[in-house]
Amino acid sequence: MTHAPQIEPVELAKSYRLLNHGPTVLVSSAHGARRNVMAAAWCMPLDFDPPKLLVVIDKSTFTRELIEASGEFVINVPTQAQRALAVAVGSDSGRERDKFTALDITTFAGDRVAAPLIEGCVAWLECRVVPEAHNQNRYDLFIGEVVAAHADSRVFSAGRWHFGPEHDALRTIHHVAGGAFFVTGPMLDNSAA
Protein backbone atom coordinates (compact mmCIF):
# COMPACT_ATOMS: atom_id res chain seq x y z
CA MET A 1 0.00 0.00 0.00
CA THR A 2 1.44 3.37 -0.97
CA HIS A 3 -1.39 5.73 0.00
CA ALA A 4 0.22 8.10 2.51
CA PRO A 5 3.73 8.26 3.93
CA GLN A 6 2.60 7.57 7.52
CA ILE A 7 0.75 4.35 6.61
CA GLU A 8 2.92 1.27 6.75
CA PRO A 9 2.25 -2.45 6.43
CA VAL A 10 1.95 -4.42 9.66
CA GLU A 11 3.45 -7.89 9.92
CA LEU A 12 0.49 -10.27 9.89
CA ALA A 13 1.81 -12.09 12.96
CA LYS A 14 1.44 -8.80 14.89
CA SER A 15 -1.85 -7.67 13.31
CA TYR A 16 -3.87 -8.82 16.35
CA ARG A 17 -2.27 -5.96 18.30
CA LEU A 18 -4.23 -3.48 16.19
CA LEU A 19 -7.40 -4.71 17.97
CA ASN A 20 -6.10 -6.09 21.26
CA HIS A 21 -6.92 -2.87 23.14
CA GLY A 22 -10.63 -3.16 22.24
CA PRO A 23 -11.40 -0.13 20.05
CA THR A 24 -14.70 0.67 18.37
CA VAL A 25 -14.27 -0.19 14.69
CA LEU A 26 -15.84 0.77 11.39
CA VAL A 27 -16.65 -2.26 9.23
CA SER A 28 -16.59 -1.46 5.52
CA SER A 29 -17.90 -3.77 2.84
CA ALA A 30 -18.55 -3.80 -0.89
CA HIS A 31 -20.07 -6.01 -3.53
CA GLY A 32 -20.39 -5.00 -7.15
CA ALA A 33 -21.15 -1.27 -7.27
CA ARG A 34 -22.62 -1.16 -3.73
CA ARG A 35 -20.65 -0.35 -0.60
CA ASN A 36 -21.38 0.35 3.04
CA VAL A 37 -19.85 1.07 6.42
CA MET A 38 -21.13 0.48 9.95
CA ALA A 39 -19.79 0.92 13.46
CA ALA A 40 -19.13 -2.13 15.64
CA ALA A 41 -18.08 -2.27 19.27
CA TRP A 42 -17.75 -6.06 19.41
CA CYS A 43 -14.60 -6.94 17.49
CA MET A 44 -11.61 -8.85 18.83
CA PRO A 45 -8.51 -10.80 17.78
CA LEU A 46 -8.98 -14.58 17.61
CA ASP A 47 -5.81 -16.28 16.40
CA PHE A 48 -2.21 -15.67 15.35
CA ASP A 49 -1.39 -17.99 12.46
CA PRO A 50 -3.12 -17.37 10.22
CA PRO A 51 -4.29 -14.17 11.92
CA LYS A 52 -8.03 -14.12 12.50
CA LEU A 53 -10.55 -11.86 14.20
CA LEU A 54 -14.18 -11.99 15.30
CA VAL A 55 -16.81 -9.33 14.67
CA VAL A 56 -20.53 -9.29 15.42
CA ILE A 57 -22.63 -8.15 12.43
CA ASP A 58 -26.39 -8.22 12.88
CA LYS A 59 -28.59 -10.06 10.36
CA SER A 60 -30.55 -6.90 9.58
CA THR A 61 -27.61 -4.81 8.39
CA PHE A 62 -26.79 -3.90 4.82
CA THR A 63 -23.11 -4.40 5.70
CA ARG A 64 -23.84 -8.07 6.42
CA GLU A 65 -25.65 -8.47 3.11
CA LEU A 66 -22.58 -7.16 1.27
CA ILE A 67 -20.17 -9.28 3.33
CA GLU A 68 -22.16 -12.43 2.66
CA ALA A 69 -22.18 -11.64 -1.07
CA SER A 70 -18.48 -10.75 -1.34
CA GLY A 71 -16.88 -12.90 1.38
CA GLU A 72 -14.70 -10.03 2.58
CA PHE A 73 -14.62 -6.85 4.65
CA VAL A 74 -12.29 -4.28 6.22
CA ILE A 75 -11.95 -3.41 9.89
CA ASN A 76 -11.04 0.30 10.13
CA VAL A 77 -9.91 1.62 13.54
CA PRO A 78 -11.14 5.23 13.91
CA THR A 79 -9.71 7.98 16.07
CA GLN A 80 -11.31 10.29 18.60
CA ALA A 81 -11.37 12.92 15.85
CA GLN A 82 -13.74 10.52 14.02
CA ARG A 83 -16.17 9.92 16.90
CA ALA A 84 -19.00 11.80 15.15
CA LEU A 85 -18.38 9.67 12.05
CA ALA A 86 -18.61 6.46 14.11
CA VAL A 87 -21.92 7.60 15.58
CA ALA A 88 -23.25 8.66 12.16
CA VAL A 89 -22.41 5.40 10.35
CA GLY A 90 -23.76 3.43 13.30
CA SER A 91 -27.09 5.32 13.30
CA ASP A 92 -28.06 5.16 9.65
CA SER A 93 -28.72 2.38 7.15
CA GLY A 94 -26.80 2.19 3.89
CA ARG A 95 -29.76 0.61 2.12
CA GLU A 96 -31.37 4.01 1.46
CA ARG A 97 -28.27 6.03 0.58
CA ASP A 98 -24.54 5.66 0.08
CA LYS A 99 -23.08 6.67 3.44
CA PHE A 100 -19.69 7.41 1.90
CA THR A 101 -21.20 10.07 -0.37
CA ALA A 102 -23.75 11.38 2.15
CA LEU A 103 -21.17 11.75 4.94
CA ASP A 104 -18.28 12.79 2.67
CA ILE A 105 -16.13 9.82 3.73
CA THR A 106 -12.84 9.63 1.87
CA THR A 107 -11.55 6.14 1.12
CA PHE A 108 -8.65 4.41 -0.54
CA ALA A 109 -8.05 0.96 -1.96
CA GLY A 110 -6.54 -1.86 0.03
CA ASP A 111 -4.06 -4.45 -1.14
CA ARG A 112 -6.16 -7.63 -0.99
CA VAL A 113 -9.91 -6.92 -0.77
CA ALA A 114 -12.36 -4.72 -2.68
CA ALA A 115 -14.01 -3.16 0.39
CA PRO A 116 -12.87 0.46 0.88
CA LEU A 117 -10.43 1.59 3.56
CA ILE A 118 -11.41 4.79 5.38
CA GLU A 119 -8.97 7.69 5.45
CA GLY A 120 -8.11 9.21 8.81
CA CYS A 121 -8.25 5.92 10.72
CA VAL A 122 -5.12 4.61 12.44
CA ALA A 123 -5.37 0.92 11.50
CA TRP A 124 -6.90 -1.19 8.74
CA LEU A 125 -7.32 -4.97 8.64
CA GLU A 126 -8.35 -6.43 5.30
CA CYS A 127 -10.27 -9.66 5.93
CA ARG A 128 -11.73 -12.62 4.12
CA VAL A 129 -14.63 -14.44 5.76
CA VAL A 130 -13.89 -17.86 7.21
CA PRO A 131 -17.29 -19.51 6.60
CA GLU A 132 -18.92 -20.75 9.78
CA ALA A 133 -22.65 -20.84 9.02
CA HIS A 134 -23.80 -21.91 12.48
CA ASN A 135 -22.06 -19.04 14.30
CA GLN A 136 -23.03 -16.52 11.62
CA ASN A 137 -26.71 -17.49 11.59
CA ARG A 138 -27.24 -18.11 15.28
CA TYR A 139 -24.91 -15.55 16.91
CA ASP A 140 -24.22 -13.02 14.10
CA LEU A 141 -20.55 -13.83 14.66
CA PHE A 142 -18.17 -13.57 11.70
CA ILE A 143 -14.62 -14.89 11.60
CA GLY A 144 -12.31 -12.92 9.36
CA GLU A 145 -8.88 -14.07 8.28
CA VAL A 146 -6.63 -11.02 8.13
CA VAL A 147 -4.99 -11.04 4.70
CA ALA A 148 -3.39 -7.57 4.92
CA ALA A 149 -2.91 -5.09 7.75
CA HIS A 150 -1.78 -1.48 7.83
CA ALA A 151 -1.28 1.16 10.51
CA ASP A 152 -0.48 4.83 10.91
CA SER A 153 3.18 4.77 11.91
CA ARG A 154 2.76 7.93 14.00
CA VAL A 155 0.94 5.79 16.61
CA PHE A 156 1.72 2.15 15.71
CA SER A 157 5.11 0.86 14.62
CA ALA A 158 7.43 -2.06 15.33
CA GLY A 159 4.33 -4.03 16.34
CA ARG A 160 3.32 -1.64 19.16
CA TRP A 161 0.92 1.22 19.86
CA HIS A 162 2.59 4.43 21.08
CA PHE A 163 0.09 7.22 21.71
CA GLY A 164 2.05 10.31 22.72
CA PRO A 165 0.61 13.71 23.65
CA GLU A 166 1.60 15.07 20.23
CA HIS A 167 -0.97 12.76 18.62
CA ASP A 168 -3.93 13.03 21.02
CA ALA A 169 -6.38 13.39 18.12
CA LEU A 170 -5.25 9.95 16.87
CA ARG A 171 -6.21 8.08 20.06
CA THR A 172 -8.70 5.28 19.44
CA ILE A 173 -12.25 5.34 20.78
CA HIS A 174 -14.02 2.72 22.89
CA HIS A 175 -17.83 2.61 23.04
CA VAL A 176 -19.18 1.66 26.46
CA ALA A 177 -22.99 2.10 25.95
CA GLY A 178 -25.63 4.69 25.24
CA GLY A 179 -23.44 6.74 22.92
CA ALA A 180 -20.68 7.16 25.54
CA PHE A 181 -17.06 6.67 24.51
CA PHE A 182 -13.67 6.62 26.20
CA VAL A 183 -10.35 7.19 24.46
CA THR A 184 -7.16 5.21 24.82
CA GLY A 185 -5.17 6.74 27.67
CA PRO A 186 -1.46 7.05 28.38
CA MET A 187 0.77 3.99 28.46
CA LEU A 188 1.64 2.81 31.96
CA ASP A 189 5.28 2.12 32.84
CA ASN A 190 5.67 -1.48 34.04
CA SER A 191 8.84 -0.66 36.00
CA ALA A 192 6.76 1.36 38.50
CA ALA A 193 4.37 -1.53 39.28
Domain ranges of the chain: 7-192
User: Which of 108-114's residues contact partners 24+ apart within 8 Å by CB, and which partners?
Assistant: 108/3, 110/1, 110/74, 110/148, 110/150, 111/1, 111/148, 111/150, 112/147, 112/148, 113/72, 113/73, 113/74, 113/147, 113/148, 114/30, 114/31, 114/70, 114/72
Please report the pLDDT score of residue 101 as a whole number.
95
* pLDDT of 81 strictly over 80: yes
* pLDDT of 125 strictly over 90: yes
CATH architecture designation of domain 7-192: Roll (2.30)
Average pLDDT of 157-177? 91
The residue among 178 and 106 whose pLDDT is bigger is 106
Please report the pLDDT score of residue 188 as a whole number.
77
